[in-house]
Amino acid sequence: MRLTVLGSGSAFSTCGCNAGYLVDGRVLVDCGAPVPALVRRAATSVHALTLILLTHFHADHSFTLPTILGARAFADPPAPGTLVIGGPVGTREYVNRLLSVGYGSHIRHEVDTKVAPTYVVLQDGSDVEIAGYRVQSHAVVHSTGPSLAYRLTDADRASVGFSGDSEMCAGLRRSIAGCDLYVCECTGWDGPSPGGHLWRDEVASLMAANPETRFLLSHLSERRHLPGALVAHDLLSLEIASATR
Ligand SMILES: [Zn+2]
């Protein structure tokens, strides 16, 4: 399993693009980063995407989605295969709103007819097979409506987790268990971070409770060091092997 970080910065930071993570060049978790340009630098394209997962409906995690869908709608020849979009309850309505506000009803119609994404509603405890991956979802607590953390496991049992944006909560802790690599938000460094986020000491306590899992800190307000953790930067690419193989 290969993870490529497209965006490592928090909502209003200048140290990296907004959230976006590519798994094996075909699964995208969140789309705040300028995905169409960055995936080319990761040697793939938006047409290779088979699954897009949204953790929650904040701009820094979702506002590039209309451009991805537009790029697929106007692809010549058309992008092969189906695209699944998974996310919390309300994802279909939210994506349609983004399309309508961003580009109007014409583009929304083009996306509806030419891309025709399949929507999957995910919620706390969901454990489903999508696009060749086991996708497990955990409800987390953030400053907007439904928010999810995900764990993706491939056929070789390698697994990567994504905190999305979350404060300390039971769902966040559950989402880490068993992951080979965990992409953990670390928005604050010097003290509690407002708005339902994690900061360094909380991340350190999660690391101490999960010694088998490698942590990759992302959603950064600035790039700093935390002993024992990897710190993300845009276009960082990592191979993830299963510890249980
Ligand atoms: Zn965010």
Asked whether residue 58 is domain-assigned, the answer is yes
Ramachandran category for residue 12: left, alpha or beta (phi over 0 → left; psi -120 to 50 → alpha): alpha
Instruction: Quote the pLDDT of residue 145.
Output: 87
* Residue 165 alpha carbon to ligand 1 centre in Å: 6
> Does residue 40 form part of some domain?
yes
Q: How much distance in Å is there from the Cα of 52 to the middle of ligand 1?
A: 16
CA of 8 to the centre of ligand 1 (A): 10
CATH number of residue 215's parent domain: 3.60.15.10
Distance 16 CA to ligand 1 centre (A): 12
Q: How much distance in Å is there from the Cα of 31 to the middle of ligand 1?
A: 11
User: Which pLDDT belongs to residue 197?
Assistant: 95
Is 79 among the domain residues?
yes
pLDDT of residue 245: 53
Look up the domain containing 179 and give its range.
Answer: 2-239
Instruction: Determine the distance separating the centroid of ligand 1 and the alpha carbon of 219, expressed in angstroms.
Output: 7
Flag whether 68 is in a domain. yes
d(CA 245, ligand 1 centre) in Å: 33
* pLDDT recorded at residue 10: 96
- Angstrom distance (rounded) from CA 199 to CA 226: 11
* Distance between Cα 58 and ligand 1 center (Å): 7
Compute, in angstroms, the gap from residue 61 CA to the centroid of ligand 1: 6
* Residue 245 domain-assigned (yes or no): no
How far, in Å, is the centroid of ligand 1 from the Cα of 119?
22
**What is the structure's pLDDT at 181?**
98
pLDDT at 44: 86
What are the per-10-residue average pLDDT scores of the chain (245 residues)?
A: 97 95 97 92 90 98 96 86 95 97 93 96 98 98 94 97 97 97 97 93 98 97 96 97 76
The rounded Å distance from CA 126 to ligand 1 centre is 22
Q: How many domains does the chain have?
A: 1
Provide the residues around ligand 1 (an ion) whose CB is within 5 A.
11, 60, 165
Rounded to the nearest angstrom, the distance between the alpha carbon of 60 and the centre of ligand 1 is 5
**Residue 244 in domain:** no
